Amino acid sequence: MLRIVNAAGQSMFHHILSEMVNNQKNGVSLLRVSACYPQLVLRPMSTQHDLPRHPVPPLKDTLAKFVRSVKPLLSSSELSTTEHLVKDFGEGDGQKLQKILENRARSMDSWLADWWLTAAYLAYRLPVVVHSNPALVFPRRHFQTEEEFLKYAADLTFAALNYKSDIDNDKIPIDKMGKEPMDMTQYKRIYGTCRIPAPKCDKMHFSDPSRPVQHIVVAHNNLFFKICVYESSGEIISPGKLLMQLKAVVNASQKPGEAVGILTSEHRDTWARVYSDLVKDEVNRRSVEAIQTSLFLLCLDGPASHLSAPNVATLAALKIVHGGGSKGSSGNRWFDKTIEIVVGREGEVGITVEHSPAEAVPVAMLMNYCLDFLEKMPKSKSGENTAAFPEPEKLQFNISSDIKNAIEVAEHNLDNLVEDTDFLSCTYSGYGKNLIKEFKVSPDSYIQMALQLAYYRLHNEPAAHYESAGTRLFYLGRTETIRSCSIESVHFAKTMLDSKSSNEDKKQALLAAVKSHKDYATQAALGLGVDRHLLGLKLAAIENGMQIHPLYRDPSYVRSTHFKITSSQVKLLYFIET
């Protein structure tokens, strides 16, 4: 389990438009790793448009679920006020807004997708580093020489390019939930994409399929190099040629450059202002565009001797998540880039993901593919003789005094964030999912109830808890919130902490809590949760010039959306040792 606690108190999720942004407190985010694939089936991506559209849940059902979900967080008098507001909303404005959503759903591929991209990500103003960018950590490597380090980076790049080829040619298997196919749109959006800063709301660059991207960008010592990765025939260049290119990059960047990349770690409005100044210079603009349009970034990192951690997995995770700050490799990043493959000289390897265009699942599948590809790759593949190939193009930046000052401020701000971030990667080896399943209990629900119990034991109160459920059963589906804090979870926590409770009492309380969680998770995956629907109604009101109903200012809504715990799981094939 990878655990990130941001002491600054900001949750990674439930980001809404600027006029609605909630200040989230005591945020805890978790990434769980288990060793298995989702069920897969081969099916052409061209059939994806046949998937059902995201439903608009019945208003009455959503409001009833909402009231039930907030009961553990409210006093009896607060609950009475909430019930009154819910009744007023359901009989008045809510019905008008529901019709707007239903009309929107009839006229669009997804009533939610564009709103969610904007509200959850592009309008979110806190830095993408730590706050929203997830990361995946590969099994640690042990490089004995510079040659081994660069050879592995070249081979990994070759594997990632082959995965893109499989995506482009509809060769990857379609994910399934049970027997039902899932939307694969996100797989098409992880390569060649980049977030672009703008005041109040960022933009996204998506690659044009009619104009295939031919290059990646390699970062080393804070300097950026454009590398063409395709032959004139359209074939991916060989691992040997990639290795030759990486050696040329390292030779051309022995001294660290100005840490331009660290600007991407800034508050989004700050970065937008600096970005506007940066790209006024034509040389800078071309360099930035080369980064933004690249298939992905490959970051070749140096050692991180200044970082300390209780184990090597935690140290690797810290490097992948934020780069270690100004004394580490944070300037050797472009955090707006959807995919940044990081390979460190000390053996830490992973992928940092800008979250806007996709969840972590497509990138986790990329990781699984690459690790499997590398295991099967003939050793002689990257040792072949190479013909002449164009030298890497160094991306130049003209750094004005204002930009230099902005870099220094960004370094200071990121160092504070790095210092303020507690992180622990650990492995529980007492038992695993198979034992949990023997008791006919969902392993996921079991873990979520353990988190609820742990929080209650520490703070003597329940925690609003966000767990993400995938909604990719629907075309353009993303996520819905599983509200893991429930009446049953609180009863379970209290029962476990009551010295007078019998083991049978505790068992029955756990089973009830697990069932409640699993039932909600199922509904969420079917697009019948609470949070996306309520968000949609709120956005519909704003878009149509209507006043926001007082329900959205009520303690019930505020507390239940200020998530003190956020958790999600990403299934991987390879065990990450701690």
The catalytic residues are 355
Among 560, 479, 456, smallest CA distance to 186 is for 479
Strand segments, DSSP code E, in 464-577 are 465-470, 479-483, 565-572
Contacts for 23 with CB less than 8 Å, ≥ 6 apart: 562
What distance in Å separates the CA atoms of residue 97 and residue 83, rounded to the nearest whole number?
A: 19
What distance in Å separates the CA atoms of residue 392 and residue 294, rounded to the nearest whole number?
A: 14
Cβ–Cβ < 8 Å for 578, 312: yes
Residue owning tokens 């592995």: 152
Residue owning tokens 């090597």: 312
Strand segments, DSSP code E, in 339-439 are 339-344, 349-353, 393-394, 421-425
Among 267, 243, 70, 74, smallest CA distance to 150 is for 243
Instruction: Return the SS3 of 58.
Output: coil
Query: Which tokens belong to 272?
Result: 């937008």
Contacts for 90 with CB less than 8 Å, ≥ 6 apart: 59, 60, 63
Output Rg (C-alpha) for the chain, integer angstroms.
24
Q: What is the dihedral of CA 65, 66, 72, 76, to 10 degrees?
A: -110
